[in-house]
A and B are shown apart, each in its own frame.
Chain A
Amino acid sequence: MHKSIVIDHLCRVEGHGGITVRIKDGKVADVNMDIFEGPRFFEPLVVGRSYDEVAPILMRICAICSASHTVASLMAVESALGIEVSTQTRLLRELLVQGGNIESHALHLFCLSIPDFLGYPSAIALASDHLQEVKMGLELKKLGNTIQEAIGGRAIHSMNAVVGGFGRPPTREALLDLKGQLTKGLEQSLAAVDLVSGLEIPDFCTSPNIYAALSSDGSGYSLFGDRIALSTGDTKDIKMYKEICNERVVAHSHAKQSLFKGKPFAVGALARIALNGEKLSGQAKKAKDKLGLSSLSENMLDNNAAQAVEMVYSIERSLDIIDELLREGIKQEEPVEVRIRAGAGVGAVEAPRGTLYHSYSFDKAGRLTEADVITPTAQNLANIEKDLRISVENLIDESRESLGPKLEMVVRAYDPCISCAVHLVEVNLDEKRISKKESRRIT
């Protein structure tokens, strides 16, 4: 029996992608996550640009993760130029990233993913039967945007976070206002956890995963860290990120794929909870236990639950950051003065969908000579294909009509950001190794 399942265009994901599955003699022959978002060639575009122009360009790789791109980019520039920012700047940047995490997780859970579990084509359709839940989701999403506006100056493509600090730090009144909204949001995020705990999570894509996430020395759960930790027990300094993200070109995708020691791995909320979950505290820890995420999950559909836990975490952490800023007294400080020099640096942040790396080199005039950006979705692509293959093997007797939506659910669980994945890195490829046969091989 030969059959193929082709999902031309995945809906409710950011960007343009599809799925192709070929089944031959009752066995899965090929599973491809097709990425056909057009390439924009971001890295070559920033070569020659002055150090202060890099973040405003590269944050625009992606709208949903632009806060993470902004902060990773600024950290890479500052590491290259030897700039130390103030504690206040570090806290405000973290707050910006937490705002992005809240917005992105709320968007994914309520608008893109939960409709799958409840059998609706969209959040708008879901609202006809579950108006209160959808309204709550939209309010949580708005909370994330309100933080990004207050700190970054704009919900999408922040312009207030700059090299060395902030154009204009928020006022005490603005922080107090955010605090009030976050306190209300915390209640809503706990209600979101209740909602997610009631969803039935299918297990057709279950298989062992290798997870990777940033690791910090601090005692608390964090979206930052100088080391990369893997569930295999390996750790790497972020400067060695290329040892983890061994990128390869595959013919069916405009995005490159990442492998660690020849194996696919996963990044994102579920990976973070798997590796750093024991550091959660407060309501987020309770939410993790309630959703049964206490052990290493082998089911990527649990990523939705992990996002619900992180929404609680990001709100609690934002409240802590604001308290610390208020305690220390928010200063209307200017960005740190920059002394231009040649140098190279890496910045890494846990973006909503996983670890994001920006790596740059500058010449002595402060102009960019080389840029490399590795996005979470690019790292997840090989693992998505692994999970799609397992799913098809488990569901091989199902009809095309029934299988298609389930495969879409698997892809959607990763919360892929396809625009991000097709950012197009310039790496030194060993061209001889990319024969046509090899480039089409599936892991």
Chain B
Amino acid sequence: MGKPKVGIYGLTGCAGDQLAILNCEDELLDIAGALDIKSFPMAMSGGDENCPLDIVFVDGAVVQPKDEELLKRLRERATLLVAIGTCAVWGGLPAMKSEIAREELKRKVYGRAGKIFDTTAPQHLSRFVKVDLSISGCPIEKEQLLQSVASLLHGDLPRLPNYAVCTECKMAEYPCVLLEKGQLCLGPITVAGCKARCPSYGQPCIGCRGPVEEANVSSEVRVLKEKGFTWFDIQNRLRTFAAPADCFEDKIFKEGANA
């Protein structure tokens, strides 16, 4: 088999996960040599927008019909579709208040001229197409990206952590910002892979990587309430990066019902 044909695309977002690829300065030319990059509109002109692809990397969320069309077209073209970044994997920041009608937001922001724009409630990629691999993070971590590219080149899917930031934090023996400093830390329910970056700087994990598998959200909420945080603040933090995740939606629905 020759070099895999690859496309790198962005839907709506800050382009930070495409930038994270360009930020592999030491490896970039090797990556470009190992892959046959057919299209990467952020970094190259004249890409092939029709050829079949072995792998397509997609960052950003779907927030307008244009995004959905491009995503479906990329799915048709690619053997493997890799969602990169929390917007693509969980909806990210744009999905924070997706229950607010887009029409209302548009009217507030653009006035009557907003009528001509088409927007939809922000969603992650797997709501529309099959996603073969999800690399979350806001932004993604360089090491996970390189590890994933290396695995894909060998025809494998990478093994990404299925444990929590809290575990990484404990292993590194950082002081616990939740229990010792009383900060609103989501480390116990957020998926690892960042080496507990924020707690290592004395900052709480704000959940930018999205929830870990089988996250015990109820237990996290109970601990946070015991620490004196209000449901209003806890809910705000839970839904900052991954509001559409089932475990958060369920919890927010149940708390709402009990209120």
**Cβ-defined contact, B14 with A254, below 8 A:** no
Q: Is B212 an interface residue (CB 8 A)?
A: no
A256 to B42, CA, bound (A): 22
A431 to B200, CA, bound (A): 49
Q: Is B32 an interface residue (CB 8 A)?
A: yes
| Residue of chain A at shortest CB distance from B140 | A156
B residues less than 8 Å from A249 (CB atoms): 110-111, 113-114
Question: Which residue of A39, A123, A138 contacts B117 across the interface (Cβ within 8 Å)?
Answer: A39
**Cβ-defined contact, B108 with A426, below 8 A:** yes
Question: Which residue of A40, A155, A251 contacts B122 across the interface (Cβ within 8 Å)?
Answer: A40
| Residue of chain B at shortest CB distance from A168 | B201
Question: Which residue of B15, B67, B116 contacts A14 across the interface (Cβ within 8 Å)?
Answer: B15
Binds A, one of B93-101, B128-136, B161-169, B220-228: B93-101
Q: Is B44 an interface residue (CB 8 A)?
A: yes
Question: Which residue of B12, B25, B67, B233 contacts A139 across the interface (Cβ within 8 Å)?
Answer: B25
**Cβ-defined contact, A66 with B94, below 8 A:** no
**Cβ proximity bits A234-249 to B, threshold 8 Å, 1 near / 0 not:** 0000000000000001
**Cβ proximity bits B188-199 to A, threshold 8 Å, 1 near / 0 not:** 000000000110
How large, as a class, is the contact surface on chain B? 35 or more
How large, as a class, is the contact surface on chain A? 35 or more
**Cβ proximity bits B25-50 to A, threshold 8 Å, 1 near / 0 not:** 11011001000010011111111000
Distance (whole angstroms) from the CB of B74 to the closest CB of chain A: 14
Question: Which residue of A57, A123, A439 contacts B240 across the interface (Cβ within 8 Å)?
Answer: A57
Question: Which residue of A60, A141, A167, A251 contacts B202 across the interface (Cβ within 8 Å)?
Answer: A167
Question: Which residues of A in the span 109-146 have a Cβ within 8 Å of any Cβ on B?
Answer: 111-112, 115, 121-125, 127, 131, 134-135, 138-139, 141-142, 145
Distance (whole angstroms) from the CB of A169 to the closest CB of chain B: 10
Q: Is B211 an interface residue (CB 8 A)?
A: no
A residues less than 8 Å from B144 (CB atoms): none
**Given A40-B93, A61-B14, A434-B112: A50 touches B233 (CB 8 Å cut-off):** yes
**Cβ-defined contact, A45 with B96, below 8 A:** yes
Apart from the given pairs A107-B22, A157-B139, 15 other A-B contacts in the complex at a CB distance below 8 Å: A12-B42, A14-B15, A39-B105, A42-B93, A53-B240, A66-B16, A115-B45, A121-B44, A123-B44, A124-B28, A139-B25, A141-B22, A141-B23, A424-B109, A429-B110
